[in-house]
Amino acid sequence: MSGDLLNLQTGLIYGPINSRRLGSSLGINLLPTTYKACPFNCAYCQYGFTSAKGYTTQSDGSDMPDIESVTATLDEALEEYPSVAYITFSGNGEPTLHPEFGRTVDEVKKSRDKLAPEAKVAILCNSSLVFKDEVREALARLDVRIMKLDAGDEGTFRRFSRPHKNVKFEAVVAGLKRLDDIIIQALFAGGEAGNYNDFSIEKWIEKIGEIRPNECHIYSIDRPSADGKLTLIDRAGLLKIKEKAEKQVGVTVKVY
């Protein structure tokens, strides 16, 4: 584990960055630049804990970029970096909080088609709002959906992901089941607030069997976390999860 908590993105478009999973990727930050906006308050978040101001399941978008700003800034970036492999919604929290996320997806795809037709439009999503029909409909129009699920039971979900009261665990799972062609990503960490224990791992594997994603990506913390007391799970520990999950539910699991 190295470094400090991450600083928030200060702009709308950032990168290209060399992602472990996606290669060369331009990031899109649809969220405020002065605070994290997220329906989760994850113990492991590399941006630190979510403040009261940003801890929500809906926003009026008043301090988020409008669609015209997104496309104009993205067009400039794609003119400079036309060979990026991915254009990825991520940023300072949960991108689906943007009230015009669906329209933004459509306009970003138009920019991609015009300036970087080989690139795929992706999202790193924590799945917190996947219970909403309009969010799922927008997600379905993306090329790649990397969806978070760190817990397989209510107790671990509340302890580790620390969702807003309006986010219900079973609603998240039900929403994920209704999305096709998804990748589930999960972070495993030890410690009192962590999810690396036999019960939590077994329940997570059961939910993966229900959701049936294309594959899973699992990893552990690699820098200080919001909680500060979580512990790193080494590669051998992650490989045990991979082997158990693949044997029990037959879903490919990749360790990062």
Structural domain tally of the chain?
1
Q: Is residue 44 part of a domain?
A: yes
The answer to the question of residue 146 being in a domain is yes
Helix axes 235-249, 198-211, angle to 10 degrees: 50
| 6 within some domain | no
- Domain for residue 3, yes or no? no
Residues 189, 222: contact at Cβ < 8 Å?
A: no
- How far is residue 152's CA from residue 165's CA, in Å, rounded to a whole number? 18
Residue 224 lies in a domain: yes
In a domain, 55, yes or no: yes
CATH number at residue 169: 3.20.20.70
pLDDT at position 1, please?
A: 53
pLDDT tens per residue across all 256 residues of the chain: 555 788 999 999 999 998 877 889 999 999 999 999 999 999 999 999 999 999 999 999 999 999 999 999 999 999 999 999 999 999 999 999 999 999 999 999 999 999 999 999 999 999 999 999 999 999 999 999 999 999 999 999 999 999 999 999 999 999 999 999 999 999 999 999 999 999 999 999 999 999 999 999 999 998 888 988 999 999 999 999 999 999 999 999 999 9
d(CA 105, CA 113): 12
* Position 4 in a domain: no
pLDDT at residue number 61: 95
Domain contains 5? no
What does the alpha-carbon distance between residue 78 and residue 116 come to, in Å, rounded to a whole number? 7
Range of the domain at 93: 13-255
C-alpha distances (whole Å) from 132 to each of 135, 148, 176, 241 are 5, 16, 11, 30
User: Is the CB of residue 149 less than 8 Å from the CB of residue 172?
Assistant: yes
The pLDDT score that the predictor gives to residue 3 is: 59
H/E element, 148: strand 144-148
